[in-house]
Structure 1
Amino acid sequence: MQTIKLYNDDSYLKEMTTTVLKCEQDEHGPYVVLKETVFYPTGGGQAHDTGLLDGKKITNVALVQDEIRHYLTESIEVGKTVQGSIDWIRRFDLMQQHLGQHILSAAFEQLFDIETASIHIGERYCTIDLEVAQLTAKQVEQAQGLSNQVILENRKVRAYYVEKADLGQFPYLRNQPKTDTNIRLIDIADFDTIGCGGTHPKATGEVGNLAILKQERNRKQVRLTFICGQRVVQELIQASQLNREVGALLHAPEAEIISKTTELLAQKKALEKAQKEWQQQQFMQQAEALLTEQQSLFDRTLILKEDNQQSVAALKKVAQQLINLDSTLLVIFFQQTGTQVTYLLAAGKEAKVNLRSLIQCFNQALNGKGGGSPFLAQGSGTFQENNGNLATTIKELLNQELGEENHE
C-alpha cells in the first residue's frame, strides 16, 4: 500500500493523525512508512520536510522504491496511531523558493526563449541552470523585474491532475510532462504551467520577493543563484550589517565604501610595486658586493657563499642578478641548520656547467634530493659536522667533478 500524499492536496496542512505501516532500518537509520503523510520527501529539486512524529524528531524524508521513508531518531512500532507535525517555518520557506523558481524560469523562457535545464531548492540558496552559454546583466535584470512584477500581482496558483489529452487546455504549458497519466500541473494564472510534484503557495504574492544574487558559468550553461521571501530580508539585513562594519573599518560612509576600497587597493598596488623595486635594488646591491668575493675555478669564476638569513626564494633573486652581471659565473649558495643543508646552484650561459648533472653529484654526496634546469637548480640533504667543513666539502666536490670535465 502506497502512502497517501496529503501535501499534494493541501500544501498548508501542518498536522496529521495516521497509522504506522512499517518500521525498519537501513544504512541511514530507523525509518517508518505511514498510511498517509504531510511530510514532503526530497525530490524535484526541493528539500524534504522535517518535524515531529509522536514527539520523535524526523531528520529526513526520502522516496525509496516507491515508499516514503520517514527517518527518525528512534523506532515506532507497526500499527501504532501517531501524531505528526511538520516544521511549518521550513515548509513555507521552501514553498516560497519553489514557486519563485517556477516564476523565474518562466520569465527567462517568455522573455528570451531560454529554458531551464535543472534546479536546486537549497536550505539557504537556490539555483537554476539555464540552457544558454552566457547572459547579459540587462537580461538578468529584466527577468528579475518580470518575476517580481508577477509576485506583486498576486496571481492565483492552482494544482491540477490531468490526463495527457487535457494538456491542450493550458496555453502557458512550459514543458511536456514525462508521464502520460495522472499528471500533476502547477498553474500560475495567465503566466506559467508546468508539471511538478512539489509544494507551493496559493498565490504568487506569498513568495514575497525574488532576488538574483549571482551569475556563473556551469559547463556550457549559466547558473543563477537566487532567493525569495524572508531569505531576501535576511540577506539584506546581513549585507547592511556588513556594509556598516566595513564602513567603520574604512572610516567611510556606506555610499563611499567602493571608492574608498578602490583607493586603498591602488595604494596597496603602488606599495607592492615600490617594495618590489626596493627588493630588486637590494638584490642588485648584494650581487655587486658578492662579485668581489669570486674565486677562480679552472676556467670559470665561482661564488660560494653560506647564507642562513635569507629565504631560498630571495637567494634565487640574488643568484639571478649575479649571473646577469657575469655570464661566466657559477654561483652556489648553501644553508645549514644542524645536519640539514639546502643548496642552490646558478650558472651563467658562459659558465660551461650543466647544473642538471652537477645537482645530482650534490644529491649523491649529501644524501639529498633536488633538481632543476641547466641554469638553476636546488636541493636539500644532510651533512654531518664530523665530516669537516661543508664549504670545503663543496669545493672538493667541484674540483672533482669540474676537474674531470676539464681533463676530458
Structure 2
Amino acid sequence: MNGTKKLYYDEPYLAQFCAKVLSCTPLHGGQFAVVLDQTAFYPEGGGQPADHGSLGGACVLDARDENGTVVHITASPVRVGETVQGDVDWMRRFDHMQQHTGEHLLSGVIKSQFGYDNVGFHIGPDVVRVDVSGPLSDGELQEIEQAVNWVIWQNGPVRALWPTAEELADMPYRSKKEIEGPVRIIDAAGADLCACCGTHVARCAEVGAVKILSAQNYKGGTRLSVVCGMRALRDYTLKCENASRISTLLSAKVNEIAPAVEHLQDEADALKARVARLETELFESRARQMAGAEHPVVFEDDLRPDSLRRLSCALSGVCPGVCAAFSGSDETGYSYALFEKDGDVSECNRAMNKALNGRGGGRGEVAQGTVHATRAQIEAYFQSI
C-alpha cells in the first residue's frame, strides 16, 4: 500500500475534503482503523497532537502516521471503496497551528539570542511545553517574550519549503535528529528555520500573542510552559476575572491587590503569633491542673498537629510518663501527640496505633498521628495500660 497523500502539508487551512476509503479494519474496543487515499487529518507527531473530526459521519478520534500511511481511528466503520467527506475539527486544528507556530518563533528567538537549542516540545491540552538546553533568568524570559511578540506584530509570512539537498546543506535550520530524504523546512518570518512536519498559520499575526506562564530548571536547562493565541486570551481572561474577584473581596483596586494581599498576610501572621501565645498560656494552665498525674490524657478542640505537640510537651514538664494530647471528634477521628520527657514513646505509639486503628509515628520523646476511635475508646485504652 502506497503512502497517503497528505493534504495538510500544502493546505493547512483545508478543513473539508473528499477521499476514497482504501481499508477499514476493526480494532479492540469497538473502534476502527481507516485508511484513505488522501487526507487533511494531521496525524500525531513532532509534538503536535492529531486532528479530530469526522469521516462520512464516523467520528475521528485519532490519526497516526504508520510508515507514511495515515491511519484514522474512528468510532464506527466506513464502507471500503466509497468516497467519503472528511471534516476536520477546525477550532482544534487552528489552535494547534497557533501553538506550533508560536513555539517556532519562541525557539528561534531563544536560539538567536542565547544559542540554546529546543530539546523538547509538546502541545498539551492546556499549555505548550518547551524544553531548552540552557538556563534562563526571569529578566531574560521577559526579554524573550517581548522579542517574540514583536516578531508576531510585524506579521511576516510563515512558509513551508522543500529545499534541494544542495540548498539544505547551506541552510542554518534547526532539527533534533538526522533526517533522510526530502526535508520540509518551516521559515517563520525569518525568525526561525526548522525542519517540521506540522501545520502552521500563514502569517505571524495569526498567532496572536505568546505568553510564558512559568519556567523551571530541568536537566540543566529550562522547561517553559507557554500559551499562544486563543489560549493566551483565555488565560488572560481567567486571571482578570480572578483579580476582579480578589479586588472586590479586599476592597482594593485591581492594580493594588498585591499590596493588599501582603497587608492581609502581615495581619494573618500577627494573628497566628497571638494565637500561639494564647495557646501557650492555655497549655501551661492545663498542665498545672494535671501536675503530678501519671500518663495524662487530655482532649482539646480544634488543635493543629503543632499545637498538639506543644500541649503534650507542656504536660511532660510536670507529669511523669507518656503524656497524650488529642483533638478531633468521634465521627472524623482524632489527631494525637505523645510526649515523654527524656524517654522513648515509639513502643507505646506502636501499641496504641494497633489498638485504636491509628497511623503515625516518631522517634525519641515525641510521636504524632491519627486514630480512628471514639473518645471513650481512647480513654478506656489508656486506663487499661
C-alpha spacing 1:375/1:235, structure 2 compared with 1 (3 Å): closer
Does structure 1 conserve the Cα–Cα contact (< 8 Å) formed by 2:189 and 2:204?
A: no
- Counterpart of 2:211? 211
Describe the SS at the equivalent of 1:173.
coil
**Superposition deviation, residue 271 in structure 1:** 0.8
Does structure 1 conserve the Cα–Cα contact (< 8 Å) formed by 2:312 and 2:325?
A: no
**Superposition deviation, residue 333 in structure 1:** 4.3
Does structure 2 conserve the Cα–Cα contact (< 8 Å) formed by 1:330 and 1:345?
A: no
Q: How does 1:137-286 map to 2 (within 5 A)?
A: 137-170=138-171, 172-175=172-175, 178-286=178-286
Quote the sequence identity (%): 28
**Superposition deviation, residue 288 in structure 1:** 1.9
Q: C-alpha distance in 1, partners of 2:341/2:272? A: 29
Q: C-alpha distance in 2, partners of 1:321/1:382? A: 24
AA in 2 matched with 1:321: A
Unaligned runs of 5+ in 1: 295-301, 395-408
Does structure 1 conserve the Cα–Cα contact (< 8 Å) formed by 2:308 and 2:325?
A: no
User: More displaced, 106-115 or 201-210?
Assistant: 201-210
**Superposition deviation, residue 200 in structure 1:** 0.9
Q: C-alpha distance in 1, partners of 2:314/2:177? A: 70
Q: Any idea what the Cα deviations from partners look like across 1:140-192, whole Å, max 9, x if unmatched?
A: 1111122112112222222122343321343x423476223211111134332
C-alpha spacing 1:106/1:267, structure 2 compared with 1 (3 Å): same
Aligned residues: 371
- Counterpart of 1:307? 298
- Counterpart of 2:321? 330
**Superposition deviation, residue 331 in structure 1:** 4.2
Flag the structure with larger Rg: 1
User: More displaced, 153-162 or 340-349?
Assistant: 340-349
Q: C-alpha distance in 2, partners of 1:355/1:148? A: 62
AA in 1 matched with 2:298: D
User: More displaced, 312-321 or 89-98?
Assistant: 312-321
Q: Any idea what the Cα deviations from partners look like across 1:14-39, whole Å, max 9, x if unmatched?
A: 22111101101234621211000000
Q: C-alpha distance in 1, partners of 2:160/2:351? A: 80
Q: Any idea what the Cα deviations from partners look like across 1:267-305, whole Å, max 9, x if unmatched?
A: 1111111111211111111112222xx2xxxxxxx5243
User: More displaced, 155-164 or 140-149?
Assistant: 155-164
Q: How does 1:6-405 map to 2 (within 5 A)?
A: 6-27=7-28, 29-132=31-134, 134-170=135-171, 172-175=172-175, 178-291=178-291, 294=292, 303-309=294-300, 313=305, 316-325=309-318, 329-333=320-324, 346-349=339-342, 355-356=345-346, 372-376=362-366, 393-394=384-385
Q: Any idea what the Cα deviations from partners look like across 1:188-207, whole Å, max 9, x if unmatched?
A: 34332111000112222222
Q: Name the TM-score, length of structure 1 as normaliser.
A: 0.80
Q: Name the TM-score, length of structure 2 as normaliser.
A: 0.84
Describe the SS at the equivalent of 1:303.
coil
- Counterpart of 1:401? none
Unaligned runs of 5+ in 2: none
Does structure 2 conserve the Cα–Cα contact (< 8 Å) formed by 1:332 and 1:343?
A: no
Q: C-alpha distance in 2, partners of 1:212/1:334? A: 49
Does structure 2 conserve the Cα–Cα contact (< 8 Å) formed by 1:212 and 1:226?
A: yes
Does structure 2 conserve the Cα–Cα contact (< 8 Å) formed by 1:208 and 1:229?
A: yes
**Superposition deviation, residue 367 in structure 1:** 9.0
C-alpha spacing 1:75/1:391, structure 2 compared with 1 (3 Å): closer
Q: C-alpha distance in 2, partners of 1:222/1:382? A: 49
**Superposition deviation, residue 65 in structure 1:** 4.8
Describe the SS at the equivalent of 2:185.
strand
AA in 2 matched with 1:268: A
AA in 2 matched with 1:197: C
- Give the RMSD, CA atoms, in angstroms: 3.3
Does structure 2 conserve the Cα–Cα contact (< 8 Å) formed by 1:163 and 1:180?
A: no
C-alpha spacing 1:36/1:284, structure 2 compared with 1 (3 Å): same
Describe the SS at the equivalent of 1:330.
coil
AA in 2 matched with 1:75: P
Q: C-alpha distance in 2, partners of 1:189/1:333? A: 71
C-alpha spacing 1:83/1:281, structure 2 compared with 1 (3 Å): same
C-alpha spacing 1:189/1:393, structure 2 compared with 1 (3 Å): closer
Q: C-alpha distance in 1, partners of 2:382/2:40? A: 81
Describe the SS at the equivalent of 1:162.
coil
Q: Any idea what the Cα deviations from partners look like across 1:51-93, whole Å, max 9, x if unmatched?
A: 2211222121122354311122210121111111212222122
Q: C-alpha distance in 2, partners of 1:214/1:341? A: 40
C-alpha spacing 1:256/1:68, structure 2 compared with 1 (3 Å): same
AA in 1 matched with 2:37: K
Q: C-alpha distance in 2, partners of 1:50/1:381? A: 50
